[in-house]
Amino acid sequence: MFCPKCNKEMSQGILGGRGYNFFLPKGEKYPKLLSNKILEKKHATLLPPDEYGSWDCAGWPVAFWCHECKMLVADYSHLME
C-alpha cells in the first residue's frame, strides 16, 4: 500500500494493543477513566477486539505504517458489525 500523504510505500503489520481500543473525534477531551458509558458520551467509536484486548494477533486488523509521514492506516471493515 502507498501512503495517501506522501505516496511512498508503507510497511504492513497489525494494529495491536491492550485495554480499550477506540477512535476519539476531534474536539472531544481524552477521558481520565475509560468505560463503555464514558466513551459513548465522548462520541468515541469502539474498535475491536473488545475492551479486554486479545493476545491472538489474528484478531487484530491489518495495518500499514509510513515511516516517512508517521501515518497509520488500519482496515477494520471485517471486524465491525
What's the domain range around 18? 11-74
Residue 55: band (very low, low, confident or very high) from pLDDT cuts 50, 70, 90: low
The total number of structural domains in the chain stands at: 1
Q: Which of 80, 64, 48, 79 is nearest to 4 (CA)?
A: 64
Q: Residue length, the chain?
A: 81
Indicate whether 5 belongs to any domain. Answer: no
Indicate whether 29 belongs to any domain. Answer: yes
In whole angstroms, give the CA distance from residue 48 to residue 80.
Answer: 7
Indicate whether 2 belongs to any domain. Answer: no
In whole angstroms, give the CA distance from residue 8 to residue 10.
Answer: 6
For range 1-7, the mean pLDDT = 96
pLDDT tens readout for residues 34-48 = 888 999 999 988 887
Stronger pLDDT, 20 or 65, i.e. the higher one: 65
Residue 51 confidence (pLDDT) above 70: no
Indicate whether 69 belongs to any domain. Answer: yes
Indicate whether 43 belongs to any domain. Answer: yes
Indicate whether 79 belongs to any domain. Answer: no
Q: Catalogue the E-assigned strands of 1-81.
A: 11-14, 22-23, 45-46, 62-66, 71-74
pLDDT at residue 38, rounded to an integer: 93
pLDDT tens readout for residues 63-78 = 899 999 999 998 888 7
